[in-house]
């Protein structure tokens, strides 16, 4: 690709394949190429790049709801859903896609989609919304290629009544160059460059101030004109004005010609000074320049050669179907936010251009892809990390290393090229200053020369007059002299002749003086003229120098932009590789965490088993200990009985002791006394009695002693037995306590393990969430797409039966319906239904739409939305039974299961599960005939305000 | 792996609550939004412990600074009214504000405001958005900024409320890139939010029943797939239920008759009393308006009448906030779209005047009793310490502890909270 300074039409994208150009040049459609259909190539690319598992294919019901919302902006009616779900033909999905694309709702929905994309729900200012929407609707009906639509909108002449409506994009942005620059950047190129208006973007390295002003230069000559006493405003454009900017941070000054994203600078073509305008701008008339930068933009951006333009719209249409862009957010295309699949985005952009920007065919291809049919269920991720994943990671690391080196190289090259641009720019600015000074000097010299010439001219004029007077005087003098000669005495005549002579002499002397003056002035004029010529030459030189500097600046910029774009391309690739790496890391981390969780679960289970065992053993020990304790009772009893016997005997023995001692003492005394008095019979008898008594007592004592001995022996035995039993019990108790300690230990270990498991589980949850996000972002999992306000409104009106009622009414209102074909009939019915019901969308847009002039894709939820559903009259009103609307139909059904089926088909576009049927039956059970409609309404309300209704699945 | 969200385990319950907490701190547009600092639990906790609030009283049409905060009696521009002393020695305000004068030790006057416009629309926009509107850029309203920066966790009440003197209701479109979640909910003529009462014919039991059914349906679905967005959606319904239970917060008739009497029974009095009620219930931002000060004719008669209403209600409100200890945490601002010309026109009116006028603030973070800046002798020019809407915007935010030099991060965009080329009036801040 050659780099020429002032090319008007040059290939503006870097790295376009020759094939692509050839296709454009020869108009070969993609179908003619020996390649698989686009939807197959899309799937192949996605499959080859996929890192994790993908979701299964969605069900028929999910597909029906999804594709109906995406292509027609409305859910199917219960009857349509039933018919489709009961249809067993194998190609019913393709047939459905084609049916929906032919349906009049397609144009309605796409017109709305384009309107929201282009105007972002701005209030109308200069052009009313309905004609604008009609223009879009007509465009979709006519299958107008998107590039043509964009060109029409961006190049519209607001003074031409035929084009005025479509100038809304520009006029309702007050034809303000910055507003247009921002929104054209976002909406047509996917680049929100606003922050780069005053300085290079602080966060996004690749949004430069020169990028902003390159775009701005196309629009800066545009302004809004409201002629006095006119109710209309117009877009007026000048033929001059250059984009010059200064960074508020670095104070570095810059200047740029118009430049499309990804393209080179485009200079204005030469236009003769007198022919700058087709219509000269005045206070009353909008200017139309001979060469309009805006129109040039509209043509060159949309001619298929600008890849940034092509990719942006392809990405937006992709997001329309898939729920998010390959680049997301949609207006942040830059290297740090790489596409989910760079190759795929290139393919889509190129192919969309190659199929002549035909929106319908493109959407059809997207709808046919496998990726469009993914279920929203998150797939079961494999628990093991496949080795291939590790290998893939290695490869990526390798690739990244190479890319880093590449980035450094490209950065250096871009920097060098930029330095050349900066010095060329410096020279340009200097030449510009010099040129300005030379032009001023030249102007002054020209003025001085003109003045000198005028002075000279004045003198020459005066000389001529004086000479003429002198001539007349000379003639008069001669005649007077003749008369004096004839009448010499006449004094009066003599005096007159003298006067003539004096006057003539005076004139002669004046002439001499003037001639001298003229001589001087001629010299001065000559000098001034020379000076002016020299100044002019200098100015011309300065102008030439300026042109030269401009040329070299533009020439320096060519390679710079090539280097810059190459640098951005490698950055994008590296960022994409990093995303892939991150995804693999998340997958790996998730699998690892899953394994760790499993291990933790296993450890906990083992610990739990162990605890069970220990607890069983412990319980047994308790029982054993209790038994041992119980077994102590008998020996204790025996022991205490033995003790009692010993004590009793011992106490009797002790009790007998004093009597025995007294008796022995008395016997001894009696024997002593008898020895002294042997004859004393009484004494003898007493002694004998005493002896007998003592002997008896002695016997008794002996007996008692014997018994004591026996009892003592028994006691000893009992004590022994008791001790043995007690030892047994103590052992059992010890065993119990030991087991109790073990239980506590195991329990603590288990708690720790459970805590670990919980921590792992929560980490796994987080990782799972992250993984789901990443898998959704790489289109391995179907997204949950929030319905747009219009989709929500129309779907609710469909589900509640409002749409069908209006359709019936419209059909009935058709004049001679048999005379028009089905397509025309459908068109008329749709138009009538739209006319009748469209008013309701305003409420939904107000409640569910983002702010005017803000991006409209992101979901948000607010409490007033829930209040609107819960208590607002709109939706609840639609749920009042009326004729054959939803609740009206349900009312006439006696069978609760049939009610459940109708409810789920109408609202959720699917048959209910058994459980769901049971729920409905339960809800309705016990309701009296009178309460039943209210209960049906409550169920319908709950289904309408459910997540499943709010999000496309 | 099957999603285990539905397992109902304790640990998951906790994670879910944290998840929701995080969402509440984030923007509606995505969980990534929000002040960087707020994403950290510690910072959020600190905020709840010192929950700040902002009350803006908007003097619609353009209050005359000469008949209010910056009187110039006995000059060619001064008009017929006198200046009276206030509770701050040395500070005088117009005699039309005798009750407010007694509370000036709670308030501060900025007498050197120049916003370089005499256009209602432009002036109003600059004053409440802190930056000029351009075709290329729309900025969030002070209320939206405040509601987001001072977002209350787990509150079902809206953070940004505008009490509209006229009717109306619903949600405004004034949050720009912060997202509709922070746009003002309008209480038309002081009435509770739209759709906040159960529809007729639906009993409490039936409402509970249908909501239980809705939850059951949702639980079944979210067991298959749950996202941040589905959480926000289901949470909104719970919020709606809570808001309906708390509907009395918006019902000014629950205030004592004596208070109604004190505040004045006119609309503005009612609205000020409602504002007190809302602030007491920790609503972050409340705006009350008083209309109409656009007095091209009969400036003096109009101010005499209008300010009579204003003085009574406003003084009562300031006094109550002070008495209830709420001034430390509540910033009060009295602003207009501009002031009025010193020159008195042929119809005894004053015209639009953005060049040298006054704004009053007080409470949280503001030097009590301060007078900042000055105009010249007859009020035709700022003579000292000129400030503009951007300086004031920074000051309001810093007064309630928001670092206005920071940025919001929305969808990968770095959006300065206030005009990065400007700064706060440090001398006014405590």
Tens of pLDDT along chain B (430 residues) come to: 333 333 333 333 333 333 333 333 333 333 333 333 333 333 333 334 468 999 999 999 999 999 999 999 999 999 999 999 999 999 999 999 999 999 999 999 999 999 999 999 999 999 999 999 877 678 999 999 999 999 987 788 899 999 998 877 888 889 988 988 899 999 998 899 999 999 988 999 999 999 999 999 999 999 999 888 999 999 999 999 999 999 999 999 999 999 999 999 999 999 999 999 999 998 999 999 999 899 999 999 999 999 999 999 999 999 999 999 999 999 999 999 999 999 999 999 999 999 999 999 999 999 999 999 999 999 999 999 999 999 999 999 999 999 999 999 887 778 899 999 999 999 999 9
A771 plus A826 within the same structural domain: no
B236–A862 CB contact, under 8 Å? yes
Q: Which residues of A touch B204 (CB under 8 A)?
A: none
Q: Report how far Cα B167 is from the mean position of its chain's Cα atoms.
A: 19
Nearest-CA distance A871 → chain B (Å): 5
- The pLDDT tens digits for B263-316 are 999 999 999 999 999 999 989 999 999 998 999 999 999 999 999 999 999 999
Return d(Cα A612, Cα B294) in angstroms, integer.
84
User: Which of the residues in chain A have pLDDT under 70?
Assistant: 1-34, 199, 201-205, 380-386
Residue A215 lies in a domain: no
A454 plus A564 within the same structural domain: yes
A404 plus A547 within the same structural domain: yes
Q: Which residues of B touch A181 (CB under 8 A)?
A: 136
User: Can you give the residue range of the structural domain that contains A656?
Assistant: 632-777
Residue of B nearest to A866 (CA): B237
Please classify residue B264 by burial: count the beta carbons closer than 10 Å to its beta carbon, then call 0-12 exposed, 13-18 middle and 19+ buried.
buried
Nearest-CA distance B110 → chain A (Å): 30
The per-residue pLDDT for A155 is 97
Q: Which residues of B touch A202 (CB under 8 A)?
A: 414
Residue A929 lies in a domain: yes
Separation in Å, CA B110 to CA A217, A919, B251, B373: 42, 65, 34, 6
3-state secondary structure of B171: strand
On whether any CB of chain B is under 8 Å from the CB of A883, the answer is no
Return d(Cα A312, Cα A62) in angstroms, integer.
28
Nearest-CA distance B296 → chain A (Å): 25
A732 plus A817 within the same structural domain: no
A768 plus A832 within the same structural domain: no
By Cβ distance, the residue of A768, A864, A915 closest to B193 is A864
Strand partners, B372: B110
Q: A interface mutation test: which of B214, B226, B247, B416 has the most A CBs within 10 A? A: B214
A452 plus A403 within the same structural domain: yes
- Residue ranges of B 2-21 with Cβ closer than 8 A to chain A: 2-5, 9, 11-12, 14-15
Q: Which fold has domain B52-192+251-428?
A: Alkaline Phosphatase, subunit A (3.40.720)
Q: How many CB atoms lie within 10 A of CB A250?
A: 10
On whether any CB of chain B is under 8 Å from the CB of A453, the answer is no
- B235 close to B20: Cβ distance less than 8 angstroms: yes
A804 plus A772 within the same structural domain: no
- Residue ranges of B 117-176 with Cβ closer than 8 A to chain A: 134-138, 156, 158, 170-171, 173-176
Return d(Cα A401, Cα A395) in angstroms, integer.
10
The per-residue pLDDT for A524 is 92
3-state secondary structure of B112: strand
A671 plus A700 within the same structural domain: yes
pTM for the model stands at: 0.80
Query: Domain map of chain B by residue range?
Result: 52-192+251-428
- Residue ranges of A 459-518 with Cβ closer than 8 A to chain B: none
- Residue ranges of A 842-861 with Cβ closer than 8 A to chain B: 846-847, 850-855, 858-861
On whether any CB of chain B is under 8 Å from the CB of A66, the answer is no
Residue A80 lies in a domain: no
The per-residue pLDDT for A382 is 54
| Domain-terminating residue out of A777, A799, A831 | A777
Task: Measure the CA dihedral A894/A898/A902/A904, to 10°.
Answer: 130
A796 plus A773 within the same structural domain: no
By Cβ distance, the residue of B5, B199, B221 closest to A876 is B199
Q: How many CB atoms lie within 10 A of CB A475?
A: 12
Q: Report the CATH number at residue A518.
A: 1.10.287
A861–B229 CB contact, under 8 Å? yes
- Residue ranges of A 374-433 with Cβ closer than 8 A to chain B: 376-378, 380-381, 383
A380–B2 CB contact, under 8 Å? yes
The per-residue pLDDT for B300 is 96
Q: Is the complex ipTM more than 0.85?
A: no
Separation in Å, CA A306 to CA B18, B162, B362: 46, 47, 57
Return d(Cα A379, Cα A686) in angstroms, integer.
123
The per-residue pLDDT for B11 is 33
Return d(Cα A775, Cα A324) in angstroms, integer.
12
Q: A interface mutation test: which of B211, B412, B416 has the most A CBs within 10 A? A: B412
Return d(Cα A790, Cα A73) in angstroms, integer.
7
Residue of B nearest to A333 (CA): B412
Number of domains within chain A? 3
Residue of A nearest to B230 (CA): A947
Q: Which residues of A touch B239 (CB under 8 A)?
A: 863, 866
The per-residue pLDDT for A914 is 97
A765–B173 CB contact, under 8 Å? no
A765 plus A840 within the same structural domain: no
The per-residue pLDDT for A427 is 92
- Residue ranges of A 225-284 with Cβ closer than 8 A to chain B: 248
By Cβ distance, the residue of B138, B198, B213 closest to A871 is B198
Residue A77 lies in a domain: no
- Residue ranges of B 261-300 with Cβ closer than 8 A to chain A: none
A557 plus A416 within the same structural domain: yes
| Domain-terminating residue out of A734, A753, A777 | A777
By Cβ distance, the residue of A376, A380, A850 closest to B180 is A850
Separation in Å, CA A770 to CA A775, A842, B135: 9, 36, 38
Nearest-CA distance B49 → chain A (Å): 25
Does residue B400 have a cis bond before it (omega within 30 degrees)?
A: no
A875 plus A929 within the same structural domain: yes
On whether any CB of chain B is under 8 Å from the CB of A871, the answer is yes
Closest C-alpha among A769, A193, A860 to residue B148: A860
On whether any CB of chain A is under 8 Å from the CB of B211, the answer is yes
Q: Which residues of A touch B151 (CB under 8 A)?
A: none
Nearest-CA distance A943 → chain B (Å): 6
Q: Which residues of A touch B161 (CB under 8 A)?
A: none
On whether any CB of chain B is under 8 Å from the CB of A918, the answer is no
Residue A483 lies in a domain: yes
Please classify residue A170 by burial: count the beta carbons closer than 10 Å to its beta carbon, then call 0-12 exposed, 13-18 middle and 19+ buried.
buried
Q: Which residues of B touch A190 (CB under 8 A)?
A: none
Q: Which residues of B touch A947 (CB under 8 A)?
A: 218, 221-222, 230, 233-234
A768–B194 CB contact, under 8 Å? no
């Amino acid at each position: 690709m050659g780099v020429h300074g002032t090319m008007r039409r040059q290939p503006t994208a870097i790295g376009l394949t020759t094939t692509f150009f050839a296709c454009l040049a020869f108009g070969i459609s993609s179908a003619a190429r020996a390649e698989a259909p686009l939807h197959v190539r899309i799937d192949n690319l996605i499959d080859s790049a996929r890192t994790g598992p993908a979701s299964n294919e969605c069900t028929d019901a999910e597909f029906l709801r999804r594709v109906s919302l995406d292509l027609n902006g409305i859910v199917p009616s219960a009857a349509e859903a039933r018919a489709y779900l009961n249809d067993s033909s194998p190609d019913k999905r393709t047939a459905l896609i084609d049916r929906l694309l032919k349906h009049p709702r397609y144009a309605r929905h796409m017109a709305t989609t384009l309107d929201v994309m282009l105007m972002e729900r701005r209030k109308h200012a200069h052009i009313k919304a309905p004609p604008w929407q009609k223009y879009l609707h007509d465009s979709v009906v006519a299958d107008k290629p998107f590039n043509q639509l964009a060109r029409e909108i961006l190049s519209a002449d607001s003074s031409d009544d035929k084009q005025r409506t479509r100038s809304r994009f520009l006029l309702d942005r007050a034809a303000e160059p910055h507003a247009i620059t921002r929104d054209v950047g976002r909406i047509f190129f996917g680049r929100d460059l606003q922050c780069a208006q005053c300085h290079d973007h602080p966060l996004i390295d690749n949004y430069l101030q020169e990028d902003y002003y390159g775009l701005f230069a196309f629009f800066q000559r545009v302004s809004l004109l409201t002629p006095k006493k006119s109710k209309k405003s117009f877009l007026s454009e000048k033929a001059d004005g250059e984009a010059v900017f200064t960074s508020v941070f670095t104070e570095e000054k810059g200047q740029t010609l118009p430049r499309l994203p990804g393209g080179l600078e485009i200079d204005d073509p030469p236009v003769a000074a007198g022919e700058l305008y087709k219509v000269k701008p005045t206070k009353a008339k909008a200017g139309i320049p001979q060469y309009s930068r805006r129109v040039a933009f509209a043509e060159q951006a949309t001619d298929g050669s600008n890849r940034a333009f092509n990719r942006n719209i392809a990405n937006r249409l992709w997001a329309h179907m898939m729920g998010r862009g390959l680049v997301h957010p949609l207006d942040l295309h830059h290297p740090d936010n790489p596409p989910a699949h760079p190759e795929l985005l290139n393919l889509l952009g190129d192919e969309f251009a190659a199929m002549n920007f035909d929106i319908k065919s493109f959407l059809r291809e997207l709808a046919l892809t496998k990726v469009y049919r993914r279920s929203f269920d998150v797939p079961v991720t494999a628990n093991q990390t496949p080795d291939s994943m590790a290998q893939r990671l290695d490869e990526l690391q390798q690739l990244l290393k190479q890319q880093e080196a590449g980035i450094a190289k490209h950065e250096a090259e871009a920097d060098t090229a930029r330095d050349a641009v900066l010095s060329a720019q410096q020279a340009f600015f200097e030449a510009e200053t010099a040129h300005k000074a030379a032009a001023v000097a030249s102007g002054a010299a020209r003025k001085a020369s003109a003045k000198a010439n005028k002075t000279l001219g004045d003198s020459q004029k005066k000389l001529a007059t004086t000479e003429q007077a002198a001539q007349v005087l000379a003639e008069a003098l001669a005649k007077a002299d003749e008369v004096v000669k004839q009448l010499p005495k006449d004094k009066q005549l003599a005096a007159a002749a003298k006067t003539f002579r004096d006057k003539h002499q005076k004139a002669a002397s004046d002439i001499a003086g003037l001639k001298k003056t003229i001589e001087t002035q001629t010299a001065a004029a000559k000098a001034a003229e020379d000076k002016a010529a020299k100044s002019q030459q200098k100015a011309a030189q300065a102008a030439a120098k300026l042109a030269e500097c401009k040329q070299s600046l533009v020439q320096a910029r060519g390679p710079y932009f090539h280097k810059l774009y190459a640098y951005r391309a490698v950055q994008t690739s590296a960022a994409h590789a990093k995303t892939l790496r991150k995804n693999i890391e998340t997958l790996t981390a998730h699998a690892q965490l899953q394994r760790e969780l499993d291990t933790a679960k296993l450890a906990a289970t083992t610990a739990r088993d162990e605890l069970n065992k220990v607890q069983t053993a412990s319980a047994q020990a308790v029982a054993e200990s209790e038994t041992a304790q119980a077994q102590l009772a008998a020996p204790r009893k025996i022991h205490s009985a033995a003790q009692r016997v010993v004590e009793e005997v011992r106490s009797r023995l002790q009790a007998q002791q004093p009597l025995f001692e007294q008796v022995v003492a008395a016997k001894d005394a009696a024997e002593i006394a008898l020895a002294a008095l042997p004859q004393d019979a009484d004494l003898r008898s007493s002694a004998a009695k005493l002896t007998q008594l003592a002997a008896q007592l002695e016997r008794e004592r002996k007996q008692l002693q014997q018994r004591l001995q026996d009892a003592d022996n028994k006691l000893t035995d009992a004590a022994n037995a008791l001790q043995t039993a007690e030892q047994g019990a103590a052992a059992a108790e010890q065993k119990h306590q030991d087991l109790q300690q073990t239980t506590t230990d195991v329990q603590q270990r288990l708690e720790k393990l459970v805590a670990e498991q919980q921590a792992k589980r929560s980490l796994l949850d987080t990782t799972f969430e992250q993984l789901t996000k990443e898998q959704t972002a790489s289109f391995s999992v179907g997204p949950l797409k929030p319905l747009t306000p219009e989709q929500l409104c129309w779907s609710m009106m469909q589900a509640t039966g409002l749409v069908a009622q209006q359709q019936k009414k419209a059909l009935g209102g058709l004049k001679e319906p048999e005379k028009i074909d089905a397509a025309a009939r459908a068109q008329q019915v749709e138009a009538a239904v739209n006319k009748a019901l469209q008013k309701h969308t305003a409420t939904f847009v107000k409640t569910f739409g983002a702010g005017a002039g803000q991006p409209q894709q992101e979901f948000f939820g607010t409490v007033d939305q829930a209040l609107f559903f819960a208590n607002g009259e709109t939706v609840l009103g639609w749920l009042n039974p009326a004729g054959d609307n939803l609740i009206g139909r349900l009312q006439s059904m006696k069978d609760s299961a049939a009610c459940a089926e109708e409810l789920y088909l109408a609202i959720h576009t699917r048959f209910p599960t058994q459980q769901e049927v049971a729920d409905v039956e339960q809800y309705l059970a016990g309701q009296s005939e009178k309460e039943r409609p209210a209960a049906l309404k409550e169920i319908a309300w709950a289904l309408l305000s459910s997540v499943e209704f709010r999000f496309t699945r | 792996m099957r999603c285990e969200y539905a397992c109902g385990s304790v640990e998951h319950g906790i994670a879910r609550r944290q998840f929701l907490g995080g969402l509440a701190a984030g923007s509606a547009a995505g969980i990534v939004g929000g002040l960087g600092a707020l994403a950290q639990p510690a910072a959020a906790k600190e905020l709840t412990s010192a929950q700040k609030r902002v009350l803006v009283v908007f003097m619609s049409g353009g209050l005359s600074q000469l008949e209010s905060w910056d009187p110039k009696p006995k000059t060619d521009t001064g008009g017929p009214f006198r200046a009276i002393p206030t509770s701050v020695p040395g500070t005088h305000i117009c005699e039309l504000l005798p009750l407010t004068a007694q509370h000036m030790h709670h308030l501060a006057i900025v007498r050197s405001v120049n916003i370089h416009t005499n256009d209602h629309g432009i002036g109003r926009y600059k004053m409440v958005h802190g930056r000029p509107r351009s075709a290329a850029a729309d900025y969030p309203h002070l209320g939206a900024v405040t509601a987001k920066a001072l977002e209350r966790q787990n509150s079902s009440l809206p953070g940004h409320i505008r009490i509209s003197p006229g009717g109306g209701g619903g949600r405004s479109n004034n949050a720009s890139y912060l997202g509709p979640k922070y746009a003002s909910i309008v209480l038309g003529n002081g009435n509770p939010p739209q759709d906040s009462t159960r529809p007729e014919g639906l009993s409490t039991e039936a409402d509970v029943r249908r909501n239980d059914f809705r939850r059951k349906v949702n639980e079944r679905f979210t067991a298959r797939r749950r996202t941040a967005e589905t959480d926000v959606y289901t949470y909104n319904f719970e919020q709606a239920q809570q808001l309906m239970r708390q509907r009395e917060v918006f019902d000014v008739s629950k205030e004592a008759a004596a208070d109604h009497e004190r505040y004045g029974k006119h609309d503005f009095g009612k609205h000020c009393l409602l504002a007190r009620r809302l602030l007491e219930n920790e609503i972050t931002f409340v705006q009350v308006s008083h209309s109409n000060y656009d007095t091209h004719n009969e400036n003096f008669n109009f101010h005499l009448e209008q300010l009579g209403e204003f003085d009574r209600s406003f003084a009562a409100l300031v006094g109550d906030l002070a008495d209830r200890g709420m001034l430390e945490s509540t910033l009060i601002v009295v602003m207009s779209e501009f002031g009025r010309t010193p020159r008195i026109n042929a119809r005894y009116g004053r015209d639009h005047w953005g060049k040298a006028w006054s704004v009053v603030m007080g409470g949280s973070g503001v030097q009590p009793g301060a007078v900042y800046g000055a105009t010249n002798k007859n009020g035709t020019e700022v003579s000292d310490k000129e400030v503009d809407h951007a300086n004031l915007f920074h000051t309001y935010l810093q007064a309630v502890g928001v670092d206005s030099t920071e940025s919001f991060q929305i969808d990968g965009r770095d959006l300065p909270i206030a005009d990065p080329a400007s700064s706060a009036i440090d001398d006014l801040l405590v």
